[in-house]
Structure 1
Amino acid sequence: MTQKFDHIIVGAGSAGCVLANRLSADGTRRVLLIEAGGSDASPFHAMPLGFMAAMADPAKDWGYATEPEANLDGRSLPLPRGRVLGGCSTTNGMIYMRGHARDYDEWRDMGCPGWGHDDVLPYFRRMESSWRGAGPYHGGDGPLSVTQVRHPALLTDEILQSATAAGFPISDDLSGEQQEGFALSEVTITRQGRRASAAQAYLRPALKRPNLTLLSGAQVTRILWEGKRATGVEYRRDGAMAQVRADRDIILSGGAYNSPHLLMLSGVGPAAHLRDHGVDVRVDAPGVGQNLSEHPLVYAEFAAAADTFLKQLRFDRAALSALRWALLGTGPFASQVTSCAALLKTLPDLERPDIQLMVMPVRLDAKLWMPGVRRRLADMFSVMVIQLHPESRGQVTLRSADPGDKPRVHLNLLSHERDYAELRRGIRVLRTLFGSGPLASLATRETKPGIDRQSDADLDAFIRANLRITQHPVGTCRMGMDDAATVDPMLRVKGVANLRVVDASIMPTVPGGNTNAPVIMVAEKASDLILGER
C-alpha cells in the first residue's frame, strides 16, 4: 500500500533538516523526509579542518558542473553540492554570515512582504546558540551553535592590525549594528569542536520522534498530481520505484539546482522548453530555472616571510592535533583556517558592501609534510576576493526528460561590465591591505594575480582565467508577486496546490555573504508559515 503523510519534504539539506524538526515537533503531523544521499558519519565531516576532504568526496556529491562558460574562456566550472544528510551544511566551510540588512529589505521592496530585515531577524535569533549569548541581534539557546575562529597560528591580530593601518573599519559583529569592515570569522562549530551541520543540529534530535520518518538513499523522480494539486512523489531506491502520498503538502528543499529540475521534470516550468523535451506541461511557469545568481570569486596569493598555518601540518604535529581533537575537541583542527572575514565598500557612495574578503594564512594546496619524507611547500597567504551582488544571471534547464540526467547549468558569469569592475576593485583593496601594517613585512610579494598585473585589461584577463564560485547558488524558483515569480511570499508554487519550495532557490537575490545561515533562516520562517495555516 502507498504510505501517506501530512508533509513530504524532498531533500535533507540545510532547509529540509530544519523543516523536519519544526514540522514534527508537536507530535501530531506525520512528516516524511526523503534524501538521495546517505549517512554523514565520517570524521572528515565532523572535524572542522577536514572540510576540504569532505567537500572533495565524490560519493557525497551530486557531481554537477556548468556548461562551458563563454566569458571564462570556455571553462566548465565544478558545482559541488552535498549529496548527504545535511546537504552542503555537512560539506561546506562552516562560515556563518548573514549579509547586510539591506539585502532583506531589498527582497521586501521587490514584492516579498514579510521578508524585510526586521521580519527575518527573529528567525536568525531563534536558530542560533551564539558564543556571544542572547541579545538584540543573536540567540543564545537555538539549535545551531555559532563560535568564533581564534588560534595563534591564524595570525588574526596581525591581519586586523593591518586592516586598521590601511584605514578599513573593524567590526565586532558583522551581523549587528556595524555590518561593514573586518572581523574575526564566525563558524557553525560546536563548543566541543565538532561541525554543527543542519543534520546534527536539527535532524538528529528529531529522529527519535515516531511521527518523523527519514528515507535516505532515495532520489525523487517526479511529483504526482491530481489535476493541479500535488498529491505525492515518486522515487527510486535500490533500483526500484515507489510512491508516497501527502495529505497536506509537498515541500521541495533540493536547492537551487535540484528544486527547479524536479519542477520541470514534473511539468512546472517554461512551457516551450518542457515540450521540447517531451514533458507534459502542467503549469507554464516561465521563471522556473531562471534568475540563477552565484557569488563569483578569485583567489589571490602572497608569499609569506614567516610561518603560516602550514607549520601545523607537519605530520607529527598533525597527528597529535587530530588526537587532541578526537579526545578533547580542542586545538588547531577543531576550527577553521579562515582567520578574518571582511565586508567592504569599494566606493564611498555605496549603500552596502560590494566585496567580501576571506583571509587564510595558508596556501590552498597545503599538504601534510615531514622532513626527509615529503618536503614542506613554501608558506603563502591565500585570500578569497568575492563579489557580493553580481548583475549576471544564469539558468538551470533540462538536459532531457530522464530524471537520471543531470540538469544543464549556465551561470553566465561576467556578462556585465560591473561584475568585472567590482572584482578589480576588490583585488586593489586587497593590495592595500597587504601593503599596510604587519602584513607589509609578513608578506614578501604578491604571487597571484602578480604585481605586474596593474591595468584593467590585465586584471580582467586574470579574472576570466581564474574565476571560481563560492557555491552559493540562489534564485531559480524566485519568490515574488509578479508573473515571473515561481513562488509567492508564503513559498507556495503558483498555479498549483499543496506544493511549496523552501531553500536557496526562492531568494530573489543572493545575500551579501555566505548563504548557509540565510537558508536555515528561510526554513525557520517557512515552518511558521506552514504551521500557521489551517
Structure 2
Amino acid sequence: MGACLGKHQAVNDDKSGGGKRYIVVGSGAAGSPLAAKLARAGCTVTLLELGPDDDWHGDAAPGVPLDLFNPEFSWKLQNLYAPAAVQSVVWSEPTWTVPRDWAEQVRQLNEGGHSHFAGPGPEPHSEYNHNANVLGGNTVHNLGFWVRGALSQYAEWGPAWEEAAVRGAFEEVEAAYSTRGLYGKLFNAKTAGMDSSVDDAVMERFRAAGFAPDRARDLGEAGERGSVAWSEWTISAAGRRMSSGSVFVDPVKGLPNFTLRTHAKVTRVRFEGGRAVGVAYTDTTTGEECLLDADEVILSAGALATAGLLLASGVGPAVDLAALEIPLVADLPVGQELQTRAKVGVLHTFHGESAFPAMGKPAPTSYMRTQPNIWAMIRSPLADAEGPDAIADLVIWANSNTDETTCPEPGQTAVAFNVSAMLPKSRGSVTLAPDGSGGHRVVWRPNFLADGHASAVMSYGIGPRIKLVRDMLASDPQKRFSQLEPAGTAADEAHIAAKATTFWHDSCTAPIGRVVDQDLRVMGLQGLRVADTSVCPRISNAPPSPMAHVVGILGASIILRGEKAELLKADT
C-alpha cells in the first residue's frame, strides 16, 4: 500500500483480498466507525492516528497508572499531560472583546477540580482549543453526552442524507455501543444511580415550566417548543467510558485487511495531477518520514486538523496559499466558514435535602461535577422559524455540584446551569501561519460572539431579558433555590463577554456544497474525501460527537454504494 523512502523501513499495508485501498486520517468520532465499516466490507483500510493506541495508560500521579477508560482520569487528559503526549492545543488569534484573566480562571478551574488546561494563553484576548491524540480521539475525554438533535437539519446536505438514512445511521451507531457493553438506552444519571434529590427537583421545575419530558436522545426535534431529559452518556453499566475506538476499531484489529498505525503525524495529502494518491506522514516515535499509497484518502481528523491538513496540501483559498508559498492544488474556501459555540453559566444554591439515595453522596470529582445530568432544549424568540419545521436553538444543562465550598452555608448543594446558543449565526475561520521552524501552525478564529446573536440567545436563557432559568426556579413552591451570583449581572452581555468560553464544537470548515459534494468528495479532485464535522454546511443543534459518528457510518455507506456501482458498470 505504500513505502518509506531512502533510509526508512518499508511500509506496506496491502493485505486485502479485494476491494479498494483506503487511508483514513484520524480515529475520532467519525474516523473510527468509518474505517471499521469499510474494513468489515472487505476493503483494505489503514487508519492513521497521531497519538497512541487505546491501551496507553501513562501515570495519573507518579507511580500510579492512569486507566484511560476511567471517566475520572480521561476527563483530565488535557491538564495531566503535556500537549505532545496525548493532546494538541491550538490557541486562537484575539477572540474576546475584553481581556481574559487567564491566571485567575485557571486557578479557579484547578480549585474546582475540572481544569481544562494548565496554563494561560499567549495574550489575554485568546481562547484555546484542545484535542485528544489517542485512538478514539475526543470521544476518550469529552463529556460524552448523546443527543441526536433535529434530523431534519441534514436535508440540505443532499438526497443521501435524508431523514430516514440519518435515523438509520444513528441506530447503527447506538446498536454498536450497546453491543460493546452499554444499555440499549445509553447510560444516564438515573440508570447510573448518580441522580440526587437536587437533580430530581431541577427536573421537576423543568417539567412544571412546560418542557416535554422524557425525550432522551431525541431532544430538540423539529416542531418542539421545549423538551427535557436525563442526558444520556457513553458510559457503560460498569461505569467505564466507551470511545469510538473501543467500540468500532478494537473489534476489527484482527482483520487481515485492516491496519492501525499510531504515532502517525500526517503532514500532507499527496497528489498526482488532480488525484490524491496517498499521504506523507512522520512516525513520531522514530522521526521517520513515510509515504503511504491508497486508491482514496479520507480525512477525519476533526474540523480544525482536517482544514489544516487540506490547506497544507494545497487545497484552499488560492490567495492565502500563495502567501504561504504552498503550491495550489485546488482553489476552494477551506476553513472560511467555521462555526462553533460559546457557553456560559450561573450557580444556584439548593436549600433542600441533597441526598444521593442510590449510592450515597459521592466524593467531589472532576468528571461528575461537570457532567450534565439534565439536558433541556428550547426554541428561543430568536429562532429562525415557527411551526413544525422550527428547531430548538438554545440548550440548558444542569448538574448538582457536590462541591459545597461555593455555597454560603455548610450542607448546601450548588447547582450549575449552563446555556449555549446551539445555532449561532457568526462565522469564524481556520487558516495557517508560519510556525517559525519552516512549517505551519493552525490558526483558529472562533468569532462566536461577533454578531451579538449568540449572546442574545444565551441572555434569553439566564439573562435579565427573560430570566428563563431564574423565573423557573423562583416559581418553586418550596423556595428551594437561590442564585449564588449577583442577580443583576449574572448573564448580561458584559457577563457573557467576560465569562463565556468555547464549547469546542467546531464545524463547517469544509462544508458540503462549497468544498465537498454530498458524497463527501472534495470538489474538482479525485480520490479525496472529508468525513467529519468539517462537512456541515451549518452547525447542527446537537453536540458534535453523535453527529460525527453518523457522518462516519453514513459516509462509509455512501463510499461502499459507489464501489458497488463502479463494479456493476465495469461488468457491463
Map 1:220-235 to 2 at 5 A: 220-235=266-281
Q: For the residues of structure 2 that align with 1:53 and 1:507, how far apart are their CA atoms? A: 29
SS of residue in 2 equivalent to 1:114: helix
- 1:495 aligned partner: 524
Residue identity in the other structure for 1:475: C
Which of 314, 330, 338 is the aligned partner of 2:372? 338
**1:171, CA displacement in angstroms?**
3.7
Q: For the residues of structure 1 that align with 2:43 and 2:376, how far apart are their CA atoms? A: 43
Q: For the residues of structure 2 that align with 1:220 and 1:93, how far apart are their CA atoms? A: 27
For the 8 Å contact 1:4–1:247, the answer to whether it is kept is no
Q: For the residues of structure 1 that align with 2:456 and 2:405, how far apart are their CA atoms? A: 38
Q: For the residues of structure 2 that align with 1:333 and 1:394, how far apart are their CA atoms? A: 30
* CA shift in 2, pair 1:284/1:384, >3 Å: same
Identity of aligned residues (%): 25
- 2:442 aligned partner: 407
Which of 486, 489, 514 is the aligned partner of 1:453? 489
- 1:136 aligned partner: none
Which of 232, 242, 250 is the aligned partner of 2:297? 250
Instruction: Return the TM-score normalized by structure 2.
Output: 0.78
Q: Is residue 68 of structure 2 the alignment partner of residue 45 of structure 1? A: yes
Map 1:318-337 to 2 at 5 A: 318=363, 337=371
Deviations 1:145-175 (A, max 9, x none): 6222213436332112111233333243351
Q: Is residue 318 of structure 2 the alignment partner of residue 271 of structure 1? A: yes
Map 1:12-411 to 2 at 5 A: 12-26=27-41, 28-40=42-54, 41-42=56-57, 43=66, 45-58=68-81, 59-73=85-99, 75-105=125-155, 107-108=156-157, 112-129=158-175, 146-150=186-190, 151-153=194-196, 155-175=198-218, 180-237=226-283, 238-285=285-332, 287-306=333-352, 318=363, 337-347=371-381, 350=386, 351-362=390-401, 366=403, 379-400=413-434, 405-411=440-446
Q: Is residue 540 of structure 2 the alignment partner of residue 511 of structure 1? A: yes
* CA shift in 2, pair 1:99/1:229, >3 Å: same
For the 8 Å contact 2:198–2:353, the answer to whether it is kept is no
**1:55, CA displacement in angstroms?**
4.3
**1:129, CA displacement in angstroms?**
3.0
For the 8 Å contact 1:154–1:339, the answer to whether it is kept is no
Residue identity in the other structure for 1:192: A
* CA shift in 2, pair 1:206/1:13, >3 Å: same
SS of residue in 1 equivalent to 2:521: coil
Deviations 1:101-122 (A, max 9, x none): 33223x34xxx33223233111
For the 8 Å contact 1:154–1:308, the answer to whether it is kept is yes
SS of residue in 2 equivalent to 1:381: strand
* CA shift in 2, pair 1:380/1:198, >3 Å: same
Q: For the residues of structure 2 that align with 1:24 and 1:417, how far apart are their CA atoms? A: 46
Aligned length: 491
Which of 417, 422, 438 is the aligned partner of 2:457? 422
**1:224, CA displacement in angstroms?**
1.1
Q: For the residues of structure 2 that align with 1:377 and 1:200, how far apart are their CA atoms? A: 40
Residue identity in the other structure for 2:484: E
**1:308, CA displacement in angstroms?**
5.2
Q: Is residue 540 of structure 2 the alignment partner of residue 525 of structure 1? A: no
SS of residue in 2 equivalent to 1:200: helix
SS of residue in 2 equivalent to 1:80: strand
Deviations 1:251-278 (A, max 9, x none): 1111000001011111110011011011
Residue identity in the other structure for 1:478: P
Q: For the residues of structure 1 that align with 2:418 and 2:375, how far apart are their CA atoms? A: 10
Q: For the residues of structure 2 that align with 1:283 and 1:21, how far apart are their CA atoms? A: 29
**1:312, CA displacement in angstroms?**
11
Q: For the residues of structure 2 that align with 1:241 and 1:459, how far apart are their CA atoms? A: 53
* CA shift in 2, pair 1:22/1:359, >3 Å: same
SS of residue in 2 equivalent to 1:203: helix
Which of 434, 457, 462 is the aligned partner of 2:473? 434
Residue identity in the other structure for 1:16: G
Q: For the residues of structure 1 that align with 2:257 and 2:236, how far apart are their CA atoms? A: 28
For the 8 Å contact 1:98–1:511, the answer to whether it is kept is no
* CA shift in 2, pair 1:336/1:205, >3 Å: farther
For the 8 Å contact 1:61–1:81, the answer to whether it is kept is yes
Q: For the residues of structure 1 that align with 2:69 and 2:369, how far apart are their CA atoms? A: 11
For the 8 Å contact 1:147–1:188, the answer to whether it is kept is yes
For the 8 Å contact 1:44–1:54, the answer to whether it is kept is no
SS of residue in 2 equivalent to 1:475: coil
**1:433, CA displacement in angstroms?**
2.5
SS of residue in 1 equivalent to 2:468: helix
**Residue ranges of structure 1 left out of the alignment (5+ in a row):** 131-138, 323-331, 370-374
Residue identity in the other structure for 1:416: D
SS of residue in 1 equivalent to 2:456: helix
For the 8 Å contact 2:139–2:244, the answer to whether it is kept is yes
Residue identity in the other structure for 1:8: I
Over the residues paired in the alignment, what is the CA RMSD in angstroms?
A: 3.2
**1:96, CA displacement in angstroms?**
0.3
- 2:482 aligned partner: 444
* CA shift in 2, pair 1:243/1:463, >3 Å: same
**1:378, CA displacement in angstroms?**
6.8
* CA shift in 2, pair 1:175/1:226, >3 Å: same
Q: For the residues of structure 2 that align with 1:355 and 1:317, how far apart are their CA atoms? A: 30
* CA shift in 2, pair 1:311/1:167, >3 Å: closer
* CA shift in 2, pair 1:397/1:451, >3 Å: same
- 1:328 aligned partner: none
For the 8 Å contact 1:492–1:501, the answer to whether it is kept is yes
Q: Is residue 511 of structure 2 the alignment partner of residue 478 of structure 1? A: yes
**1:413, CA displacement in angstroms?**
1.8
Q: For the residues of structure 2 that align with 1:384 and 1:222, how far apart are their CA atoms? A: 39
**Residue ranges of structure 2 left out of the alignment (5+ in a row):** 4-11, 15-20, 58-65, 100-123, 567-572
**1:318, CA displacement in angstroms?**
4.3
Deviations 1:280-337 (A, max 9, x none): 111111x1011111121102111333565999999x9649xx9xxxxxxxxx989984
For the 8 Å contact 2:216–2:231, the answer to whether it is kept is no
Q: For the residues of structure 1 that align with 2:322 and 2:353, how far apart are their CA atoms? A: 60
**1:34, CA displacement in angstroms?**
0.7
